[in-house]
């Protein structure tokens, strides 16, 4: 049983080590994307004219293939994890901005007026009214970003073996060991499903006022529905 998870020594990681590396390489960019997306989205909500051009730029950025994005960065950041993480952060940003804008915009005008009437300033209104109501939409965006990020990290293997679980693909192919390839594919898929499930749980915890099972209201923007 132990042999199933034995790793070639040159990978310098145990299987669990690779899993940890994979999670870090996939999720840190999503976090970075979220941190940047929140203010950008707020700007787009505040200044309506800004949104169409931002949407246009994000659509084009999202279309740039990951491998092309990686290799252009090599010149600046070398063959490193950072080269993989920067594009993933950009993809996350691009998925999250429309999700947050749609979420924040869906807050009814009456609710905002009520908050103002209760004496909420703009900051408090944003943090205590707009963000919680937009939470399902934001988390739906986070799910898409996280799952696609986990899948894309593997491509980093082509960039100086910076692909965490994806590095197993190379070893498996070179030394004709299907076991390693299976470990990589199944491991990545399980990670993606697990993180997806965790985010669903997080949404249920964050929005206790929503009836269970109202999946429909949390639909993601359709064009960004699936990962690359």
Partner 1 sequence: MNILNFIDAFFSDSARWQGYDGIPARLGEHVQYTLTALGIAAAVGLPVGLLTGHTGRGGNALALIATSARALPSFGLMVLMFLLLGLGMAPVMIPLVVLAVPPILVTTNEAMRSVDPAPVDAARGMGMGEAQILFRVELPTALPLILSGLRSAAIQIVSTATIAAYVSFGGLGRYIVDGLYQRDYEKVVGGATLVAGLAVATLVLFWGAGRLSVSRGVRRDG
Residues that bind partner 1 (CB under 8 A): 59-60, 62-69, 71-72, 74-75, 144, 147-148, 150-151, 154-155, 157-159, 165-166, 169, 172-173, 176, 178, 181-182, 184-185, 188-189, 192-193, 196, 215, 219, 222-228
Please identify, using beta-carbon distances, which residue of 111 and 226 lies nearer to partner 1.
226
Please identify, using beta-carbon distances, which residue of 4 and 63 lies nearer to partner 1.
63
Instruction: Provide the minimum distance between the beta carbon of 150 and partner 1 in the complex, in angstroms, as a whole number.
Output: 8
H-type helices in 78-119, by residue range?
Answer: 81-105, 109-117
Give 22-63 as a DSSP string: HHHHHHHHHHHHHHHHHHHHHHHHHSGGGHHHHHHHHHHHHH
Instruction: Provide the minimum distance between the beta carbon of 62 and partner 1 in the complex, in angstroms, as a whole number.
Output: 8
Q: How far is residue 38's CA from residue 31's CA, in Å, rounded to a whole number?
A: 11
Instruction: Provide the minimum distance between the beta carbon of 124 and partner 1 in the complex, in angstroms, as a whole number.
Output: 35
In the chain the beta strands, taken as DSSP E runs, fall at none
Q: How far is residue 68's CA from residue 54's CA, in Å, rounded to a whole number?
A: 22
Please identify, using beta-carbon distances, which residue of 67 and 206 lies nearer to partner 1.
67
Closest CA to 100 of 138, 46, 131: 138
Q: How far is residue 50's CA from residue 7's CA, in Å, rounded to a whole number?
A: 50
Q: How far is residue 140's CA from residue 13's CA, in Å, rounded to a whole number?
A: 33
Please identify, using beta-carbon distances, which residue of 73 and 104 lies nearer to partner 1.
73
Instruction: Provide the minimum distance between the beta carbon of 110 and partner 1 in the complex, in angstroms, as a whole number.
Output: 25
Instruction: Provide the minimum distance between the beta carbon of 106 and partner 1 in the complex, in angstroms, as a whole number.
Output: 16
């Amino acid at each position: 049983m132990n042999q199933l998870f034995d790793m070639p020594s040159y990978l310098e990681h145990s299987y669990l080590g690779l899993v940890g590396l994979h999670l870090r390489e996939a999720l840190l960019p999503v976090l970075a994307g979220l941190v940047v997306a929140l203010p950008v989205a707020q700007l787009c909500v505040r200044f309506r004219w800004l949104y169409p051009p931002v949407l246009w730029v994000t659509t084009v950025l999202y279309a740039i293939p990951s491998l092309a994005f990686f290799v252009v960065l090599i010149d600046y950041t070398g063959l490193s994890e950072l080269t993989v993480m920067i594009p993933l952060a950009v993809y996350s940003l691009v998925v999250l901005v429309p999700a947050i804008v749609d979420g924040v915009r869906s807050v009814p005008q009456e609710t905002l007026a009520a908050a103002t009437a209760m004496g909420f300033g703009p900051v408090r209104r944003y943090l205590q009214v707009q963000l919680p109501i937009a939470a399902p939409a934001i988390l739906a965006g986070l799910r898409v970003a996280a799952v696609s990020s986990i899948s894309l990290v593997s491509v980093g293997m082509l960039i100086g073996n910076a692909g965490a679980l994806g590095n197993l693909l190379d070893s498996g192919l070179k030394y004709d060991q299907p076991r390693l390839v299976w470990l990589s594919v199944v491991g990545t898929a399980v990670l993606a499903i697990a993180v997806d499930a965790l985010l669903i749980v997080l949404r249920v915890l964050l929005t206790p006022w929503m009836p269970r099972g109202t999946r429909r209201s949390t639909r993601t923007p359709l064009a960004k529905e699936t990962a690359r």
